Amino acid sequence: MSTESTPAPKSGVAEDVPQGPRVAVSALITNLREYGLILALIAIMVFFQFTTSGTLFKPVNLSNLVQQNSFIIVMALGMLLVIVSGHIDLSVGSVAGFIGALAAMMMVIWPLGPLSNPLVVSIVCLIIGGLIGAAQGYWIAYHRIPSFIVTLAGMLIFRGICQALLGGGSSVGPLPDGFKALSSGFIPDVIGPLTLIPPTVNAAGKTIMGSGLTLHMTTIVLGLVAVLAYAYFGLRARRTREQHGYQAEPFTLFVVKTLVTSALALFLVYQFASYRGLPIVLMVMGVLIALFVFVTKRMTIGRRIYAMGGNAKAAQLSGIKTERLTLMVFVNMGVLSALGGLIIAARLGQAVPAAGLGSELDVIAAVFIGGASAMGGVGQVIGAVVGGFIMGVMNNGMSIMGVNVDWQQVVKGLVLLGAVVFDVYNKNKG
Amino acid sequence: MTSTILEMRDITKTFPGVKALSNVNLSVEEGEIHAVVGENGAGKSTLMKVLSGVYASGSYEGVIVYRGEECHFKGIHDSEHKGIVIIHQELALVPMLSIAENIFLGNEHAKFGVIDWNANETRTSALLKKVGLKEDPKTLITNIGVGKQQLVEIAKALSKEVKLLILDEPTASLSEKDSQALLDLLLEFKRQGMTSILISHKLNEVNRVADKVTVIRDGRTIETLAKKDISEDRIITSMVGRSLDDRYPPREPKIGETVLQVKNWSVYHPIHAERQVIKGIDISVRKGEVVGIAGLMGAGRTEFAMSLFGRSYGRHITGEVLLKGKPIDVSSVSKAVDHGIAYVTEDRKTYGLNLIDHIKHNITLANLPGVSRHAVIDDLRELAVANDYKAKTNIRSSSVYQMTGNLSGGNQQKVVLSKWLFANPEVLILDEPTRGIDVGAKYEIYTIIARLASEGKAIIVISSEMPELLGITDRIYVMNEGRIVGEMAASDASQEKIMRAIVRGEGKAS
């Protein structure tokens, strides 16, 4: 039987996408549901933009927002795969705390000589994170111990080790500047700044902070390149589809989608450029998001994870090595927890015993707000990222508004419940 | 004197985009066994859900008259209150609770919330006696077989003072013996004056017990046959809307060299390690040949096939597998697949499909490298493959983006089959390939099997339906209690010969 690249039969073409005048409308409706989450994020941002009288979108605050929430989003990428494969990981906050403490000890306290270099320490820490994930994943994958229990144990164990490592309740620091740049640094302006409005100089001959307008040109150029690439690849994918005789989404919808996304991206890029440029941690996050979107959407391993979460037995009988795959999902989670831990430590400039405490809940909430199913098999990377940003913007916005931390939690809980109820309701209706 | 106990008039039920039932009429007389038959997806289950109130009154059009009064059931509680009890195909028992606990679940004999266990167990014993089940009421459901579980379901229905018992495919997963016992029980209930509605695919059973048969096709009532008009051929004609002169497609076997050979294959039970499930089996299958494995439920056929397919069942597996004369390693599913062996499961929902994903992703799952380069999936190639197999196996769906969970049994089976065809195996093991699917889809599956054989695949078909084996295979192995107890050419096999081999084999084993 011929299986290789058989040209599509004509009958399949017609059925691929329904045709007729209703296409545009129905496509819009399906897409509205798909983009509902992003619209929700935009609505929340606009809301806080008003209630904080414009502080939310201030360049300084945007940088803060990214630096405060990036570790949640980084860990949510791993958590998405864990949840899609039908598991849960409660240990990520503790692992992050432990790795932060370990990194601090290696860089500040232990006499490691040249090995205490931040880069070396970071690499070692990521490897150890992977090993922690492997240790937990081993019990889950090969001995079928429920992940809830294994990682609950891990949560206790690594929080304990974290505190013991730091010698009780003390914190260890300050961490070297090179390391802190991971969280608080910005990409260097290799092109050079462009001053549009020179800053005001006061009587003493010093410039006034925040006056004038100087653009970080490397940021602008990177932003433009990214937007153009996005539009180019979108167009190219459309063309290949059409060349193979398949119908792509309606052109108007594609144009609107691309324009809105690009405008939004360029606006944010401009805001960053008018401050100090793109934060390094945003670049790290962006690269990881792109990587995980690609892995889940296009790569066989991603497909296999979804199949395993949807029906593990069927996946196994289709030749998928489900045990090894589960182990890899947890190794990946471990590495990303470690990266999260490094980012937290770099932002605080020191390791504290409570670093990452409770963050597993924020991470899990982000994934569920993003539309993942607790039963496994369903969930999108972009959903988890947007879910993470929704949590982050709410944290940030409410803090600026001066909402009490206690009530912030109440609001976040309600948003989590509301998002999932909405999702389930929508699915049952469809 | 008979009177009408139930009349459903002009029932129409629409789901978004689909008209599941249109003007269906069903009239059931008191004290009869009324069979409802139809292809999968014809609307039988939907009709029963309307009757039992799963779809609440108001969500459909039409009238239900039960014992002379018009009923508007808002939920299953309302209908049960009136004595209408439905037993679903998938049994609704809690495995880790006892028989007594299951029977009175939600309905316990209790005072102020404190359960009177003695009363429960006494009543359970009485009910079990009625259905002819000799088990301790304290036995856990998980420890008894499917046949007995079915009887527990019926006992549970009896505990609710049932007047109209609805059985949805009650014998689908029962052995021949258990099925017979169940049908006898239905006849016994009939003598006691109970009315039953039986939904079944097995026309010989319908033929045996039903007083009337209502045929449903494409959401419409086609006709209701009285006892004297009931015959399998008549029902089939009515079900598929055309007469099936031949239930099996014609085929001219072109049999070549031996492809797969299994020698002295033994397997032990995965939990009860001392129990040997498969006892030294030797079989072989040749190129272009369709080999059948006959046997009763529990003969070990599925266990044999799954242990062969990457040790998916059992432990302490010993024996040798030869592919074209060379020993091969089949110790994991991926190795078996790489050697060109495919196993199409008997339980497509549990072992065959990812029900929350669409047809396209299910079809390519066993051969992702076939649609990818450097582990990156080529979306368009995948789409082309999926559309190709959708056409080849005649999967009926709006597109390859339909969720497999929403397909009918026959179409689900075609998706599983497509998945394994795309993996391009040399040896294809089909386990109960037509279980629970309708006559029309069965014929299509047989046609696919015949085509694959003519393309030179070696095919093993495991089936409990002897006519099917006789109709589509070239050679039949008979299995009993983990052994091969007979081998015969299909041309000189018969149902009697197969049964005799089984009985003889039983004598030998004991």
Domain spans in chain B, listed from the N-terminal domain onward? 4-240, 253-340+425-510, 350-423
Contact yes or no for A317 and B391 at CB 8 A: no
E-only strand ranges, B315-434: 315-323, 326-327, 341-344, 372-373, 376-377, 427-431
Q: Cβ of A238 under 8 Å from any chain B Cβ?
A: no
Which chain A residue's Cα is nearest to B376? A299
d(CA B332, CA B329): 8
Contact yes or no for B372 and A300 at CB 8 A: yes
* For chain A, percent of residues with pLDDT exceeding 70: 90
Contact yes or no for B351 and A317 at CB 8 A: yes
Mean pLDDT check: name the lowest of A83-92, A304-313, B407-416.
B407-416
Which chain B residue's Cα is nearest to A316? B333
Q: How far apart are the first and last CA of chain B?
A: 52
d(CA B362, CA B384): 14
Q: What share of chain A is helix, strand, coil (3-state, %, to 5)?
A: 70, 5, 25
DSSP 8-state symbol, A107? I
- The alpha carbon of residue B255 is apart from the nearest alpha carbon of chain A, in Å, by 18
Which chain A residue's Cα is nearest to B417? A318
Contact B212, B224 (CB under 8 A): yes
**How distant is the alpha carbon of residue B163 from its chain centre?**
27
Mean pLDDT check: name the lowest of A209-223, A252-266, A344-358, B202-216.
A209-223
d(CA A243, CA A240): 5
User: In CATH, which superfamily holds the domain spanning B253-340+425-510?
Assistant: P-loop containing nucleotide triphosphate hydrolases (3.40.50.300)
- Determine the topology of domain B4-240 in CATH: Rossmann fold (3.40.50)
d(CA A396, CA A390): 10
d(CA B269, CA B276): 6
Torsion of CA A242, A243, A244, A246, to 10 degrees: 10
Contact A271, A62 (CB under 8 A): yes
Residue B224 pairs in a beta bridge with B214
* For chain A, percent of residues with pLDDT exceeding 90: 57
Domains and CATH numbers, chain A: 53-185+279-430 (1.10.3470), 188-201+208-277 (no CATH)
Mean pLDDT check: name the lowest of A90-99, A203-212, B128-137.
A203-212
Q: Cβ of B396 under 8 Å from any chain A Cβ?
A: no
Q: How confident is the model at residue B143 (pLDDT cuts 50, 70, 90)?
A: confident
> pLDDT tens for residues A105-134?
999 989 888 888 999 999 999 999 999 999
**How distant is the alpha carbon of residue B130 from its chain centre?**
27
Q: Cβ of A242 under 8 Å from any chain B Cβ?
A: no
Give contacts of B310 with chain A, Cβ < 8 Å.
319
d(CA B443, CA A54): 69
Q: Pick from A2, A303, A318 the residue to mutate for testing the B interface (most B CBs within 10 Å).
A: A318
- The alpha carbon of residue B135 is apart from the nearest alpha carbon of chain A, in Å, by 32
Q: Is the pLDDT score of B294 beyond 50? A: yes
- The alpha carbon of residue B457 is apart from the nearest alpha carbon of chain A, in Å, by 10
At B167 the three-state DSSP class reads strand
DSSP H or E stretch at residue B168 = strand B164-168
CA distances from B236 to B35, B413, B428 (A): 14, 21, 29
Contact yes or no for A12 and B400 at CB 8 A: yes
d(CA A146, CA A140): 6
pLDDT at A8: 39
Give contacts of A18 with chain B, Cβ < 8 Å.
398-399
Q: How confident is the model at residue A23 (pLDDT cuts 50, 70, 90)?
A: low
More confident residue, B392 or B241: B392
CB neighbour class for A302 (10 Å; exposed up to 12, middle 13-18, buried from 19): buried
> pLDDT tens for residues A296-319?
999 999 999 999 999 999 999 999
Contact yes or no for B398 and A15 at CB 8 A: yes
Contact yes or no for A3 and B367 at CB 8 A: yes
pLDDT at A24: 55
Domains B4-240 and B253-340+425-510 share a fold: yes
Give contacts of B370 with chain A, Cβ < 8 Å.
3-4
pLDDT at B510: 37
d(CA A180, CA A185): 7
d(CA B6, CA B284): 55
Q: Cβ of A46 under 8 Å from any chain B Cβ?
A: no
Contact yes or no for B333 and A18 at CB 8 A: no
Residue with tokens 């990177």: A222
Take residue A200 and report the two structure tokens written for it: 């005001």
Q: What is the mean pLDDT of residues B413-430?
A: 94
Q: What share of chain B is helix, strand, coil (3-state, %, to 5)?
A: 35, 30, 35
pLDDT at A5: 39
Residues 6+ apart with CB under 8 A from A302: A295, A296
d(CA A325, CA A140): 11
Q: How confident is the model at residue B2 (pLDDT cuts 50, 70, 90)?
A: low
Give the nearest partner residue to B353 out of A7, A8, A311, using CB atoms. Answer: A311
Q: Report the greatest alpha carbon distance in chain A.
A: 85
> Which residues, numbered 436 to 465 in chain B, qualify as contacts with chain A under a Cβ-Cβ cut-off of 8 Å?
452, 455
Residues 6+ apart with CB under 8 A from B8: B24, B25, B26, B27, B47, B50, B51, B62, B63, B64, B65
Stated pTM of the model? 0.80
**How distant is the alpha carbon of residue B10 from its chain centre?**
30
Q: Cβ of B424 under 8 Å from any chain A Cβ?
A: yes
For all residues of chain A together, what is the average pLDDT? 87
- The alpha carbon of residue A328 is apart from the nearest alpha carbon of chain B, in Å, by 16
Q: Is the pLDDT score of B1 beyond 60? A: no
Contact yes or no for B356 and A17 at CB 8 A: no
Take residue B298 and report the two structure tokens written for it: 């529990």
Contact yes or no for A299 and B376 at CB 8 A: yes
d(CA B108, CA B104): 5
Q: Pick from B307, B357, B454, B457 the residue to mutate for testing the A interface (most A CBs within 10 Å).
A: B357
For all residues of chain B together, what is the average pLDDT? 87
Q: How confident is the model at residue A208 (pLDDT cuts 50, 70, 90)?
A: low
Take residue B87 and report the two structure tokens written for it: 């037993």
CA distances from A401 to A64, A257, A409 (A): 15, 32, 15
- The alpha carbon of residue A279 is apart from the nearest alpha carbon of chain B, in Å, by 31
pLDDT at A15: 39
Contact yes or no for B365 and A318 at CB 8 A: yes
Name which of B441, B507, B443, B497 is nearest B470 in CA terms.
B497
Q: Cβ of B384 under 8 Å from any chain A Cβ?
A: yes
Q: Is the pLDDT score of B266 beyond 90? A: yes
Q: Cβ of B332 under 8 Å from any chain A Cβ?
A: yes
At A61 the three-state DSSP class reads helix
Contact yes or no for B365 and A315 at CB 8 A: yes
Q: Cβ of A206 under 8 Å from any chain B Cβ?
A: no
d(CA B156, CA B160): 7
d(CA B174, CA B463): 13
Which chain B residue's Cα is nearest to A319? B334
CA distances from B311 to A353, B307, B348, B424, B433 (A): 48, 4, 19, 20, 21
Residue B262 pairs in a beta bridge with B283, B321
Take residue B84 and report the two structure tokens written for it: 């209408």
Q: Cβ of B353 under 8 Å from any chain A Cβ?
A: yes
d(CA B58, CA B12): 11
Q: How confident is the model at residue A25 (pLDDT cuts 50, 70, 90)?
A: low
DSSP H or E stretch at residue A217 = helix A217-243
Contact B429, B344 (CB under 8 A): yes
- The alpha carbon of residue B74 is apart from the nearest alpha carbon of chain A, in Å, by 19
Give contacts of A1 with chain B, Cβ < 8 Å.
421, 424, 452, 455
CB neighbour class for A307 (10 Å; exposed up to 12, middle 13-18, buried from 19): buried
Residues 6+ apart with CB under 8 A from B141: B93, B94, B95, B96, B97, B98, B99, B102, B149, B152
Contact yes or no for B351 and A314 at CB 8 A: yes
User: Identity (one letter) of the amino acid at A250?
Assistant: P
